[in-house]
Structure 1
């Protein structure tokens, strides 16, 4: 792999695309084992430069220069300053909301342009997805001038809170008499909090992109709590995020996440290390015992045990060890460049680990028991765990982000299937600032066959995860002419339609399909979607839907997760067992129901 040249799959483009789908999946998934996406080193370098200059240097320079602290190059002079901490959180929210942080660039399927976010959400007429149909004044799926105003006002309110100087705080002065920088004026946080909520009620895309499930509570703490309570509440928030993510890794899904993630890491060039995460490459590429250890010791155990140690430890060396472990944990995730590319989030959480637990240790008056009221503690914990608990029991009601399943592998997911030529209809979508990804690649100079194979690597990536085997099984059992159709990974396709995706299938469910269909009008059978909900923590099955864009949901059913994880990505034994629980037209032959 060179700086400008990647490792393209070793196939003959002229003949590869004529092969059956499962043969293509096998070739591309085996290639993924050793090379991941095969991106040239220039791609991760672009991300590192972006994070370093736009997030770290610009963020700290802006935070320190507007707060009266030491200059940004004097890290020892500002790392434990509360106002710098507040402003770095707000700067991260600003970048996420603008579309310049997570789900940015080519690894997320944004090739030309590399930015989604603001190009979509500051443009009237683009697709808007409301979170709940019962909320008044949110009807419709078209972004209006009012939505654009709400969005831009949110960005402006964040910037105002960042650039304006701090004010003295009695609670801060009592805890830190020598502090002269103060805190962000609480009144400046009212507008961002209100606009967070208003944007979210009108459009879940903006709320989830701004990572409202994690940063909105932090802003409320900044605005409403005295200093000591604010710090302890922030610790509780951080630990709920970590522990929630750890708990979500229980089950069979997460072990399947680690091998393809490690394979895609440019920081692990040795093929033998990547192969260690698979049972018997190339014959069996299910996760190995090494992958299981990495998943549930290096992942699950670390994310549950270490936060509890940090929350209650009063021993400096034990706390230091816990902080180092969590910083290394986030650096490891950063180094793998996961496809949602949440790099700024990992950098910030590494800093928060240091700031909160070393800067304000539990043994020096910042422990859980030091909060001003036990009722306040209980109320904050209850509020923070509400959506993770509900989302794991009823994933159909809550996005996997508020459910704290960030890397669990237990995602709502989908595959899109287009009849020959039908995908091009998406390029007629009005007000869309992008084209289909395969067309973006061709606009960058990729030959058509190379662009197509590049995009098919994403469906091979999906097949290496548990839900991918189920989704492909549904396709194989329901679409007889599948080999001549175009199959797309919905997470990537969704990115080109709404400007964001973070692995959340709720952003490309029936609501998005209906929004696109109302604008384009696919004929029956031209655009088929197989969509699956996350697995509830107390169930053994996942529920899928088959959606025809022209007809709506035409089939529902389930599969056992154990059956999915036990198969190879390319399904050499055929589709896994499926249970059809409902079909739109029981009398019609399944082929007629599907392709019209």
Structure 2
């Protein structure tokens, strides 16, 4: 791999794109084992430069210069200042809401232009997705002048809270007599909270892009709690995020996440290390014992046990060791450059581990028992656990982000299958960008190589548990699958909404309906296979087969155990599924036309 050239699969593009779909998936999955996405090192350098200069240095300069603190290079004078942490959160919210932090750039499917976010959300007519249909005044799926105004108001209120100096806090002065910078004014934070909630009720995409499920509680704590309670509540928040993510990795899915993530890491240059995460490359690329150890030792164990140690430990050496473990944990995630590229989020959480647990340790009066009221503690814990518990029991009701299933592999997912030439119909949808293949061509790729590059993303999907089920559905429903254009739902979603982060709820039936209103696909031209996350108390996942023109045409389930047992390219054929509903059963047709309509639906 060169600094400026991608590491492309060793295939002849003219003949490769004519091969059967699953043969292509085998070739590309095996290539991923050793090369990952094949991203040029220049791209990783851009991300690192953006992270170090724009996010870290820029954030520190903004926080210190607007808070009457010494210059940014005097780290010892500002790292423990509460207002710096508050402004670090605000800085992150601002960049996430603009679209220049997570889900930015080529690794998130944004090739040209590299920024989505504000290009979509500050423009009328683009698609918005309301979170709940019963919320008044949220009808519709197009962005209006009101939506744009709400979005601009969010950016403006966050900016104001970020750049204006802090105000005196009696509770802070009582707890930390030497502090002179104060805290961000609650008067400035209240509008941020209101703007984030209102935007979220109109468009869940903006709320999730701003990582509202994690930063909104922090903003509320900044606003309403006295200082000591605020610090303890922030500890409870970050521990909930860590432990929730660790708990979500206890199932069968996460072991399938680690090998392709390691394969994609530029920090792992040796091929034998990458191969070691698979059972018997190239014959068997299911996770090896090393991958299971990495998943449930370096992942699950670290994310559950270490945060609890941080929260409960009264011993300084143990606490500092746990802080170091969590910092290294987030640095490791950064080094793998995951495809949603949540690099800024990981930096903030690494800093939060140091700030909260080393800066304000339990033995200095910042333990859980030091909160002003046990009822307040119980109330905060209950509030923080509400969505993770609900989301694990009823994943259809809650995004995987509030469910705290980051990186768990247990995601709602989808694959879109277009009839030949039908993908171009997406270009009539109101949006400030184009399909990813067209973006890559504009970036300088040959069109055939651009298409193969996008096929690498669906090969990546096959390496995860839900991918085997999704491709099984394609094979069962589409006799012409080898001639269709198959795209990863996350990347299609990104080109339509300006954001993607692993949440299939962003490209479910609601998005397909909004797209169909403009693209007008004919029956059979676009078939989407979509699967929900696995509930914690079940051993299966619920799927839908959706024809863009006809709606949902089939529902059913598959066993997670069957999915993880297969190779990505399904050499034994599709995995078993249990059909629970189909259109021909749910909607009886007149006898004279039932055979014709049934044949049309099967072809679709």
TM interval, shorter chain, is over 0.9
| Matches for 1:108-257 after TM superposition, within 5 Å | 108-257=108-257
**Structure 1 position 310 matched with structure 2 position 318:** no
**Structure 1 position 440 matched with structure 2 position 447:** no
| Matches for 1:101-500 after TM superposition, within 5 Å | 101-430=101-430, 432-500=431-499
> Could you tell me how far apart the structure 2 residues matched to 1:507 and 1:398 are?
11
Aligned length: 595
> Could you tell me how far apart the structure 2 residues matched to 1:369 and 1:261 are?
39
Structure 2: which 5+ residue stretches go unaligned?
Answer: 586-593
**Corresponding residue SS for 2:340:** coil
1:25 corresponding residue in structure 2? 25
> Could you tell me how far apart the structure 2 residues matched to 1:100 and 1:4 are?
22
Whether the aligned pair in 2 keeps the contact of 1:479 and 1:591 (CA below 8 Å) is: no
**Corresponding residue SS for 2:584:** coil
Whether the aligned pair in 2 keeps the contact of 1:462 and 1:468 (CA below 8 Å) is: yes
Whether the aligned pair in 2 keeps the contact of 1:478 and 1:591 (CA below 8 Å) is: no
2:34 corresponding residue in structure 1? 34
> Could you tell me how far apart the structure 1 residues matched to 2:145 and 2:137 are?
14
Q: CA deviation at 1:592?
A: 2.5
| Matches for 1:53-132 after TM superposition, within 5 Å | 53-132=53-132
Whether the aligned pair in 1 keeps the contact of 2:477 and 2:603 (CA below 8 Å) is: no
1:535 corresponding residue in structure 2? 534
Q: CA deviation at 1:6?
A: 2.0
Q: CA deviation at 1:178?
A: 0.8
1:379-410 deviation line (CA, Å, top 9, x unaligned): 00000000000000000000000000011000
**Structure 1 position 585 matched with structure 2 position 584:** yes
1:57-93 deviation line (CA, Å, top 9, x unaligned): 1110000001011211111110000000100110000
TM score, norm. by length of structure 1:
0.99
1:595 corresponding residue in structure 2? 603
> Could you tell me how far apart the structure 2 residues matched to 1:592 and 1:332 are?
50
Whether the aligned pair in 2 keeps the contact of 1:427 and 1:435 (CA below 8 Å) is: yes
Q: CA deviation at 1:519?
A: 1.3
Whether the aligned pair in 2 keeps the contact of 1:548 and 1:594 (CA below 8 Å) is: no
Whether the aligned pair in 2 keeps the contact of 1:526 and 1:595 (CA below 8 Å) is: no
Whether the aligned pair in 2 keeps the contact of 1:541 and 1:560 (CA below 8 Å) is: yes
**Corresponding residue SS for 2:541:** strand
2:589 corresponding residue in structure 1? none
Q: CA deviation at 1:316?
A: 0.8
> Could you tell me how far apart the structure 1 residues matched to 2:173 and 2:293 are?
47
> Could you tell me how far apart the structure 1 residues matched to 2:134 and 2:264 are?
41
Structure 1: which 5+ residue stretches go unaligned?
Answer: none
1:514-557 deviation line (CA, Å, top 9, x unaligned): 00001121100001000000000010000000000000000001
> Could you tell me how far apart the structure 2 residues matched to 1:445 and 1:345 are?
31
> Could you tell me how far apart the structure 2 residues matched to 1:378 and 1:574 are?
51
> Could you tell me how far apart the structure 2 residues matched to 1:410 and 1:74 are?
43
1:521 corresponding residue in structure 2? 520
Whether the aligned pair in 1 keeps the contact of 2:266 and 2:336 (CA below 8 Å) is: yes
> Could you tell me how far apart the structure 2 residues matched to 1:273 and 1:71 are?
43
> Could you tell me how far apart the structure 2 residues matched to 1:361 and 1:595 are?
63
Q: CA deviation at 1:595?
A: 3.3
> Could you tell me how far apart the structure 2 residues matched to 1:498 and 1:333 are?
26
Q: CA deviation at 1:590?
A: 6.4
> Could you tell me how far apart the structure 1 residues matched to 2:602 and 2:85 are?
54
> Could you tell me how far apart the structure 2 residues matched to 1:578 and 1:155 are?
46
> Could you tell me how far apart the structure 1 residues matched to 2:488 and 2:440 are?
16
Whether the aligned pair in 2 keeps the contact of 1:525 and 1:594 (CA below 8 Å) is: no
Aligned Cα root-mean-square deviation (Å): 0.8
Q: CA deviation at 1:594?
A: 4.0
> Could you tell me how far apart the structure 2 residues matched to 1:590 and 1:223 are?
59
Whether the aligned pair in 2 keeps the contact of 1:109 and 1:437 (CA below 8 Å) is: yes
> Could you tell me how far apart the structure 2 residues matched to 1:23 and 1:383 are?
48
TM score, norm. by length of structure 2:
0.98
> Could you tell me how far apart the structure 1 residues matched to 2:556 and 2:312 are?
45
> Could you tell me how far apart the structure 2 residues matched to 1:69 and 1:291 are?
46
**Corresponding residue SS for 2:557:** strand
1:547 corresponding residue in structure 2? 546
Q: CA deviation at 1:144?
A: 0.3
2:509 corresponding residue in structure 1? 510
> Could you tell me how far apart the structure 2 residues matched to 1:70 and 1:77 are?
7
**Corresponding residue SS for 1:585:** helix
Whether the aligned pair in 1 keeps the contact of 2:479 and 2:603 (CA below 8 Å) is: no
> Could you tell me how far apart the structure 2 residues matched to 1:352 and 1:175 are?
19
